[in-house]
Amino acid sequence: MSSVIEKIETLLVDLPTIRPHKLSMTTMACQTMVIVRMRHSDGIEGLGEGTTIGGLAYGPESPESIKRNIDTYLAPLLIGQPSGNLNALRARLNRHVRGNAIAKSALETAALDAQGKRLGLSVAELLGGARQDHLPVLWTLASGDTRKDIDEAFQRLDERRHCDFKLKIGANPVDRDVEHVAAIKAALGDRAGVRVDVNQAWGEASAVRGIQALQEAGIELIEQPIPAREHAGLIRLARRFRVPMLADEAVADARDGLDLAARGFSGAFALKIAKSGGLQGVLELAHVAQAAGIGLYGGTLLEGSIGTAASLHAWATLDEMTWGTEMFGPLLLKDDIVTQPLNYHAFGVDLPAGPGLGISLDEDKLAHYSRK
């Protein structure tokens, strides 16, 4: 008899960050993860993670709603279903549940982890095989203090941990943000690439002014300068400037990607398993981008080690990540809930080895940080 899903447990886990992390919509001092433990009738447990940024500051799902919706609506759809038919599980969730992409991603990750353990294969192997086992990782400078950000960048360079940096801007007036970014790029010079993420904070007129100045300062990529739904404006900006635009919140899944590509967008797409409802959905988006000649960037919602590992398994199957990845989430946290942290070195991170995600829980740490 084939294995079935027997039980799905969700835990809210609160981990403090190493420093305040300032974005245009919020400042974080703690990250809350929803950890999924999916148990199967053959005794195998799969792990998943659903994580967002700043409660409801980033999007329509909060950690609390992710947990409640999995417990109340999504988990009952999966209990008793065959463990190994991942396409059927995904189709069942999508047929009965609208939206809830982060919750679906956490469940798909757990199902893939369990199937990999069952078959003795990594998640990347389940997805067709890894084409790379070490991926580049940039670091986000988000203290909000120019001098602190410069010092932090040089420290990361000297440690050979990161050689590209992203700056979170948009919370301040355009001129002040541009001055902040330009000073950091001038200090780093040719030692490091610098990009910015505006997190939808500008209108199109402000974006024109800000991007022109950032382009002149030598910034190499502009992420989501205007609101997500303003596709036409994003395309106009992409056509107007030499510096490429990176679509993030504007492109969640393959349908969004097809729409932007068909309307003439050029630049890059930020891939995130959480936006796309899981690993299979994000790879569908990646393949649309590749067919359209649009660059790829491995994005994060600042997941911990479980969600970061899941993303790495997806990115590893792709032939090229033009703009690298930002899978630094675990490094932003003061502690971890896994027995073997991810291995960051040589300006990147290793793909975890072993069956499934290659990740196991530290039960004592999990109990310590789980919300009571």
Per the DSSP assignment, residues forming a β-bridge with 361 are 338
Q: Give dist(CA 162, CA 152) in Å, integer.
A: 11
Q: Single out the catalytic residue among 22, 104, 166, 168.
A: 168
Catalytic (active site) residue 334: no
Three-class SS of 292-327: HCCEEEECCCCCCHHHHHHHHHHHHCCCCCCCCECC
Q: Single out the catalytic residue among 49, 152, 284, 326.
A: 326
Q: If DSSP codes are grouped into helix, strand and coil, which group holds residue 55? A: coil
Q: Give dist(CA 275, CA 277) in Å, integer.
A: 6
State how far the alpha carbon of 14 is from the alpha carbons of 8, 102, 306, 369, in Å: 20, 17, 14, 6
10 Å CB burial of residue 335 (0-12, 13-18, 19+) is middle
Catalytic (active site) residue 326: yes
8 Å CB contact between 336 and 173: no
Q: Which stretches of 217-292 are DSSP H helices?
A: 231-240, 254-262, 273-276, 279-292
Residue type, 332: L
Q: Is 354 left (phi over 0), alpha (psi -120 to 50) or beta?
A: left
Q: Give dist(CA 206, CA 239) in Å, integer.
A: 16
Per the DSSP assignment, residues forming a β-bridge with 31 are 15
Catalytic residue ranges: 168, 326
